[in-house]
Amino acid sequence: MSVVVRAPAKINLQLSVGPLRDDGYHELVSVFHAVSLVDVITAQRGEGVQVSMSGEGSESLATDDGNLVVQAIHALAQHAQIDPHVSIHVEKSIPLAGGMAGGSADAAGTLVACDALWGTGLSREELADIGARLGSDVPFALFGANAIGRGRGEEIMPVLGQGQFHWVFALADEGLSTPAVYRQCDTLRQGEQIRPPEVSDALLHALRQGDANALAAALHNDLQPAAISLRPALRSLLEAGVEYGALAGVVSGSGPTCAFLCRDSAHSIDVAVAMTATGMCRTVKRATGPAPGARVVTPTG
């Protein structure tokens, strides 16, 4: 039998970075939005643990113990007190180190796939507890849709919304390291009084209304100045997206992927074509959100 799971990328509609905590993490408020750009995780019974990857960035990703897929397999097996026997293949579409939490999506997808394959029957909440220890964004990748994330981003609360939003993503040649972007954010804000972050009411209202124009006006990412200062070309990329008609552009998470919000599907095709023609990014992808969290799409026997 094999189990196929689709696990979504995320963008942060809002990412507000608060003060640095004693444990070295920043206090965050994030409004997560899962999108239909997915990694596909296929799990089959095997001897021991076998992991292979193809697609976006996979050539530079080792399948050793540092890989979040391998870590997720062992974490679930340990929790369920079983010997891990599984063969997993991940077809990646989510850019590596792109600020879209592809590694967390793979970890979430692996937890769901192994849970189904091994019949461990854990709830989403139990999987999220295991996932939170693997990475702050793993719980959200399990729940998907729209959610507020607090703490390091791992405390998830669903957000009501309606309608679908249409996005164009501009993928860069090279990723950005998340810790390096946070360090740069600290450097840029040195001497500033950093207040505890709060969720934007305007953003929540835009989601409830399904209003793309209001959402465009409310998009906000505190890491954007840091990402731009490390990768200055992002500034002109963001400007170009808006010039070519996007309602707004924002750096996704720690970057360097830029997300452009469009009015509807046809508009997103126009923006994607225009962005491709600029030659300012490696690849352009379209997706919609909110998308469901990591879920089994085809168990075959």
Q: Which residues are catalytic?
A: 10, 137
Q: Which of 3, 34, 40, 61 binds ligand ATP (CB under 6 A)?
A: 61
Instruction: Write the CA distances from 82 to 68, 77, 107, 119, 219, integer angstroms.
Output: 19, 5, 18, 11, 44
Residues between 74 and 133 that touch ligand ATP (CB under 6 A): 96-104, 106
Classified as helix, coil or strand, 142 is helix
Q: Which of 67, 93, 224, 268 binds ligand ATP (CB under 6 A)?
A: 67
52, 63 contact by CB (below 8 A): yes
The contact pattern for ligand ATP, residues 138-177, with x = CB under 6 A and - = no contact, is ----------------------------------------
As given in the structure block, the two tokens for residue 237 are 């990329």
Q: Which is nearer to ligand ATP, 67 or 146 (CB)?
A: 67
As given in the structure block, the two tokens for residue 245 are 């008609």
Classified as helix, coil or strand, 151 is strand
CB 166, min distance to ligand ATP, A:
21
Q: Any alpha helices (H) in 119-211, and if so which ranges?
A: 124-132, 138-143, 178-188, 201-209
CB 61, min distance to ligand ATP, A:
6
Classified as helix, coil or strand, 180 is helix
Q: Which is nearer to ligand ATP, 72 or 203 (CB)?
A: 72
Residues between 16 and 45 that touch ligand ATP (CB under 6 A): none
Packed helices 124-132 and 102-118: angle between N→C axes, nearest 10 degrees = 130
Query: Using the rule CB under 6 A, is 69 a contact of ligand ATP?
Result: yes
Count of residues that interact with ligand ATP, criterion CB under 6 A: 19
Task: Compute the distance between CA of residue 264 and CA of residue 267 in angstroms, rounded to an integer.
Answer: 5
301, 50 contact by CB (below 8 A): no
CB 198, min distance to ligand ATP, A:
22
Residues between 176 and 215 that touch ligand ATP (CB under 6 A): 178
Binding-site ranges for ligand ATP (CB under 6 A): 61, 66-69, 96-104, 106, 137, 178, 253-254
